[in-house]
Amino acid sequence: MFKILNQTFKTGTVTTGYPVSKADIPDSFRGRPHFDFGNWRDALPATAVCPTGAISVFDRADRRIVVVDYGLCVFCGLCAEATPEKAIQITKDFELAVEDRQELILSAEYSLSRDGSQQSLISFKHGPRPAEPAVERAGRKLKEGISKLLGRSLAIREVDAGSCNGCELEIVALNNPIYDIERFGIHFVASPRHADMLLVTGPVTRNMELALLKTYRATPEPRLVVAVGACGISGGIFGKNYASLGGVDQVVPVDVYIPGCPPRPQALLQGILVAIGKMAKALPFA
């Protein structure tokens, strides 16, 4: 017993300060690929290696449109390796949760040179915006905000709609002493009838479609649905096929999308914050 107490005091507090303080991200972490559209000379090699079709190219006459969908991206880094001009860099960015699926899509139009490479950038459409300062600040007052908004705490029902369980590992980590999500008054519940939010993973297999729909209907309003990971957003590596519906919003309305494969615990927390912010905007008395 003395040994355990001694070890506990020696270890001290391990809980991360995020989101009040900056997240401590390891060097080996692969986050969002950054695309330097202005200096990108040829998108075809990256398109050829992308395993999920997150990068697509449409050529017409002397014009090329390149579309990048972060909702499909699994952050594998293959596009950066296939692009010699360093126009794609893997970053440590993970705070990518958005309310609008379209915000995850970037597109650029180029004029083409005779050899088929991209000559000059004509136009560019922006994708995900950086987290609003208000959302970042929300971490400090999260517990207070949740009590005000929901009268007690935020109850989350996790729904695995056919995932590989990578996202579940990160979600489980939210309850460990490092991320300790309960310190914010957020806890996971066993029944959707007690839940304020559904945290849904997986591409939604056809076998899970009815279960997801029933879970959604059993959740009292106002309810939030958060689609987790590339699979939850778009079907990810599985896509849409005979066994998979291609994302949570194919079955139920989604309030917030959290990119990643899988999203790290801080990314999940940021997505939950974005969802709470959305609920606060929707309720006039909040």
Please report, as ranges, the residues that interact with ligand SF4 according to CB under 6 A: 33, 49-52, 54-55, 73-79
Smallest gap, in angstroms, from Cβ of residue 170 to ligand SF4?
A: 18
Nearer to ligand SF4, 44 or 172 (CB): 44
Smallest gap, in angstroms, from Cβ of residue 107 to ligand SF4?
A: 14
Residue pair 129/104 in contact by the 8 Å Cβ criterion: no
Smallest gap, in angstroms, from Cβ of residue 53 to ligand SF4?
A: 8
Smallest gap, in angstroms, from Cβ of residue 239 to ligand SF4?
A: 12
Nearer to ligand SF4, 19 or 166 (CB): 166
Nearer to ligand SF4, 145 or 246 (CB): 246
Q: Provide the greatest CA pair distance for the chain.
A: 77
Three-state SS for the chain is: CHHHHHHHHHHCCCCCCCCCCCCCCCCCCCCCEEECHHHCCCCHHHHHHCCCCCEEEEEECCEEEEEEECCCCCCCCHHHHCCCCCCEEECCCCCCCECCHHHHEEEEEEEECCCCCEEEEEEEECCCCCCCHHHHHHCCCHHHHHHHHHCCCEEEEEEECCCCCHHHHHHHHCCCCCCCHHHHCEEECCCHHHCCEEEEECCCEHHHHHHHHHHHHHCCCCCEEEEEHHHHHHCCCCCCCCCECCCHHHCCCCCEEECCCCCCHHHHHHHHHHHHHHHHHHCCCC
Nearer to ligand SF4, 76 or 204 (CB): 76
Smallest gap, in angstroms, from Cβ of residue 89 to ligand SF4?
A: 11
Smallest gap, in angstroms, from Cβ of residue 35 to ligand SF4?
A: 9
Smallest gap, in angstroms, from Cβ of residue 279 to ligand SF4?
A: 30
Nearer to ligand SF4, 77 or 222 (CB): 77
Nearer to ligand SF4, 71 or 139 (CB): 71
Nearer to ligand SF4, 91 or 102 (CB): 91
